[in-house]
Structure 1
Amino acid sequence: MKDRYSEHFMIGAAVNTGHIMGTDAEGQALVAAQFNTLTAENDMKWEQIQPEPGQFDFRSADALVAFSEENGIFVVGHTLLWHQQTPAWVFEDENGKPASRELLLSRLKHHIETVVGRYKGRVQGWDVVNEAFEEDGSWRKSKWFEIIGPDYIEQAFRYAAAADPEAELYYNDYNMFKAAKRSGVMSMVKALLEKGVRIDGVGFQGHYGLGGPDLGNLEASILAVKETGLQVMFTELDISVLPFPDQEKMGADISLDFELQEEFNPYAAGLPAEVGKELADGYSRLFELFLRHSETISRVTFWGVEDGSSWRNSWPMAGRTDYPLLFDRNYQPKQAFHALVELVK
């Protein structure tokens, strides 16, 4: 994949601890062979890298950066600021009361300076802020927003730019094909640019299903970012083949947790050939769009390496068997992989 698409955009994967540390040797070998950009699925999030105040755990992140350097791979740090997977202490003072704006900003600054500073010149891009907007384009009322105010995004980007002036800095969100969300995000992005705050790209997460997204709406969002001169990246791409239990809540809200129901787990015994073909067709349509806009799209990163380790097996309903990626549970290329290779023969 990485070689076939080298003239168009980078091809990446989100890797887990097994891939990083080599305990999943087959997966690690597949990563080195197929991808030229990597993102840590969880190992660089706040709860993993600073679980307690001032106590940093860089073991997995260090291993990922070293592996990437050995293999000439572009590394994306994910993520510096998010409303999820951030320890409760971050938002509290020493008495367990809500932190003040000043205290929370100082913690954010220290975290970014420490993490980005450690990998200065070695991690090439950072998802600075993740998922700051609701589906209707309004600000997500996270604790970051409630305590600091809407300028928390500006401050995060300023801290990151100071910590590594050469690293690329991104905003990342899901359902960016929706007009309302696009409008909210792009208003924020343009405000940053008008203030001279450095931002280099907008990440479209790309957690999709067989029925979507509408490609016309998705293309409109690509063009909206292109008009600003920023890069577009598809940062967390996967296509679930399973029915979603609540169509109104499709996206990537990790707080969703539905009870397991067999009607929403139809392929536990294996993926039917016709569904595999449908998956391949879905990926082909997406990549045909990506190729049309390859001057704007710098990276396409799949959220996982092979089906067995995909988060889609657990979200939004734990215990399901999904098949959202290009490689099966035996690390073998699927019909979808071959379809994408054929697009750029």
Structure 2
Amino acid sequence: MLQKMNGKVKKILGISIAFLMLIMVIPTSIAKAATNKTYDFNSMTYQSTWGVTYSISNGSGTFNFTGQYREIKFNLPETLDMSQCTSVTFNASSPNGQIAFKLYDTSGNQVAVVYNFNSNTSDCTFAPNSTAKVNSIGIMAQGTNNYSAVVNRVTFTMTGGSSGTGSSTLLNTYGNILKNSGTAVNLSQLQNSNTLSVIKTQYNSITLENEMKPDAVLGSSSTLMTVAQAKSNGYYIPSSYTESTVPTLKFSTIDAVLQICYNNGLKLRGHTLVWHSQTPDWFFRTGYSSSGSYVSQAVMDARMEMFIRSYMSHIYNGSYGSVVYAWDVVNEYLHASTSGWSQVYGSNLGTTPSYVKKAFQYAYDCLSSFGLTNSVKLFYNDYNTYEVTDQILSLVNFINSGTKLCAGVGMQSHLNTSYPSVSAYKTAMQKFLNAGYEVQVTELDVTNTSASTQATYVYDLMTAILSLKKAGGNITGITWWGLYDSVSWRASQNPLLFSNLTTPKESYNKALQAFTDAGY
């Protein structure tokens, strides 16, 4: 009897197992069905441009090209695994000139391209033939004349229905949501292939810690040329400039950085044009001489305009200027100590300093001359913004009286786990956002007494920032001020997310956990 029952059990189990195997096949087949992921330009975010102006209407983008190989890039709202993508379709119209469509991976490398689209509204479909993780697209002119194209949407046909984001990084989390995931570096770090490779896995934006500051461009002492020589070298000389000589501006380091960024899909924040610190005193004196007397405000206005517009024009006239997407025009005015600026313009100017507004006007005028006022943003940058929130708002409102020159506030965010409280920091950021300003966290580090204390603080801070973003706040980037602890300006207090180039700390994992817990 027992043997017969065992036999029946075996038969029943055999039928059950077979049935289970059968029904397991069904959802697998369904999971592999193709799904279309379609994005228009309301769901994508602008990344960078070179020689292209654009406008968005009802999700469609109109792109005006100013020459051959001019290109504009946009970030997708998610990262897509091309190993699970069978085709990509751009719906577009470009009857007056050929354009190319490109796909870029999370490191900014071009991984797929289709050329020679030249048609009234139709689909351009191609197989990506790549296993890369793609998070941005490019649209490039092939013709040499000026012409326009309209791109309505892009569709990725996926198998398995997977977006394939892979392992979480700062780049494919915060970089996707905020557009800019950044770090502070120098040229030598960018020139190291191993360091550059690591940078590209976590960041799509860099800030030079010192090499774009005024003293790096002007030098410790002046080297003068005639006005005629300056004009022949491409310098901007305003009509109000009455002096016979112009100081040589040193761009070799910046040029090298721009090329590296361009070739590796990195963006660059310009930091900084006007600062009370790290600006040589000779720049404010007669004859550009350290022994001269301080010049008048009118002379200094002309010098400032010459410096700002020559500096920015050099970048945007070059081959790689498209990587510079933002500028800290004025840095730390509200915390300024005695400097050449105060010697010329006076101290204690409150929140209505004329030279600060003029600095923004000169920078804005330069962007306007290149057609970049919609794509490159100008910021006022300062530290301890949670202590002087109302003063910053008053200052930025003054700068923007008449024309909105300043897009927003750079919150440096050199923090400590004991100060400020996360709630105080969030309140300050909320005030800037409520006033209608864009906010970028520009120089973040968190000193601490222990790794676990830092991790908890970072989690709470990121949670607060992400909650404001989800509520509609115009927060467009977080830049960590250094790659790892020992290269930080506050190295003794271990303020960053990495203990060395490739070793993340608990705080790094907590930053990513905050992103996941926020519901992204």
TM (normalized to structure 1)?
0.82
- CA-CA distance at 1:239 after TM superposition: 0.8
Deviations 1:287-321 (A, max 9, x none): 011101123211110111111111113xxxxxxx3
Match of 2:248 in 1: 55
Match of 1:106 in 2: 302
1:217/1:142 CA distance change after superposition, 3 Å = farther
8 Å Cα contact 1:49-1:56 kept in structure 2: yes
Match of 1:310 in 2: 488
Match of 1:17 in 2: 187
Q: Structure 2 counterpart of 1:336, which letter?
A: S
Q: Secondary structure at the match of 1:12?
A: strand
Describe how 1:153-172 pairs up with structure 2 within 5 A. Answer: 153-165=356-368, 166=372, 167-172=376-381
CA distance in 1, matches of 2:510, 2:426: 21
Consecutive unaligned residues of structure 2, counting only runs of 5 or more, are 1-169, 224-246, 347-352
Q: Secondary structure at the match of 1:211?
A: coil
**Match for residue 408 of structure 2 among 201, 216, 219:** 201
Match of 2:325 in 1: 124
Q: Structure 2 counterpart of 1:87, which letter?
A: P
Structure 1 window deviating more from structure 2 (64-73 vs 125-134): it is: 64-73
Deviations 1:88-128 (A, max 9, x none): 11111125111211221122111111111112252111000
- 1:5 aligned onto 2:174: yes
Match of 1:219 in 2: 426
Describe how 1:231-310 pairs up with structure 2 within 5 A. Answer: 231-241=438-448, 275-294=450-469, 295-310=473-488
1:69/1:342 CA distance change after superposition, 3 Å = same
Q: Structure 1 counterpart of 2:440, which letter?
A: M
Q: Secondary structure at the match of 2:500?
A: coil
CA distance in 1, matches of 2:337, 2:278: 16
- 1:230 aligned onto 2:437: yes
CA distance in 1, matches of 2:392, 2:337: 11
- CA-CA distance at 1:154 after TM superposition: 0.7
1:228/1:112 CA distance change after superposition, 3 Å = same
Consecutive unaligned residues of structure 1, counting only runs of 5 or more, are 243-274, 314-320
Q: Secondary structure at the match of 2:490?
A: helix
Q: Secondary structure at the match of 1:170?
A: strand
- CA-CA distance at 1:47 after TM superposition: 0.6
1:110/1:45 CA distance change after superposition, 3 Å = same
CA distance in 2, matches of 1:326, 1:48: 28
Between the two proteins, the alignment pairs up a number of residues equal to 298
Deviations 1:230-255 (A, max 9, x none): 1111100001126xxxxxxxxxxxxx
CA distance in 2, matches of 1:214, 1:329: 27
8 Å Cα contact 1:145-1:152 kept in structure 2: no
Describe how 1:181-200 pairs up with structure 2 within 5 A. Answer: 181-200=388-407
**Match for residue 76 of structure 1 among 269, 277, 283:** 269
CA distance in 2, matches of 1:230, 1:278: 31
8 Å Cα contact 1:30-1:331 kept in structure 2: yes
Deviations 1:237-278 (A, max 9, x none): 001126xxxxxxxxxxxxxxxxxxxxxxxxxxxxxxxx1111
1:79/1:222 CA distance change after superposition, 3 Å = same
8 Å Cα contact 1:27-1:331 kept in structure 2: no
Match of 1:177 in 2: 386
8 Å Cα contact 1:105-1:148 kept in structure 2: no
Q: Structure 1 counterpart of 2:359, which letter?
A: A
CA distance in 1, matches of 2:256, 2:423: 40
- 1:97 aligned onto 2:267: no
Report the structure, 1 or 2, having the larger strand content.
2
8 Å Cα contact 1:203-1:234 kept in structure 2: yes
Q: Secondary structure at the match of 1:60?
A: helix
CA distance in 1, matches of 2:507, 2:383: 22
Match of 2:509 in 1: 338
CA distance in 1, matches of 2:343, 2:392: 18
Match of 2:495 in 1: 324
Deviations 1:157-181 (A, max 9, x none): 0110111232210000000011xx1
- 1:67 aligned onto 2:245: no
Identity score, percent: 29
Q: Secondary structure at the match of 2:503?
A: coil
Match of 1:38 in 2: 206
Match of 1:261 in 2: none
8 Å Cα contact 1:307-1:325 kept in structure 2: yes
Q: Secondary structure at the match of 1:76?
A: strand
8 Å Cα contact 1:240-1:324 kept in structure 2: yes
- 1:144 aligned onto 2:337: no
CA distance in 1, matches of 2:496, 2:194: 16
Q: Secondary structure at the match of 1:105?
A: helix
Q: Structure 2 counterpart of 1:159, which letter?
A: Y
Match of 1:254 in 2: none
Q: Structure 2 counterpart of 1:144, which letter?
A: W
Q: Structure 1 counterpart of 2:452, which letter?
A: K
Deviations 1:177-199 (A, max 9, x none): 11xx1121111111222221411
8 Å Cα contact 1:172-1:205 kept in structure 2: yes
- CA-CA distance at 1:15 after TM superposition: 0.8
CA distance in 2, matches of 1:164, 1:289: 33
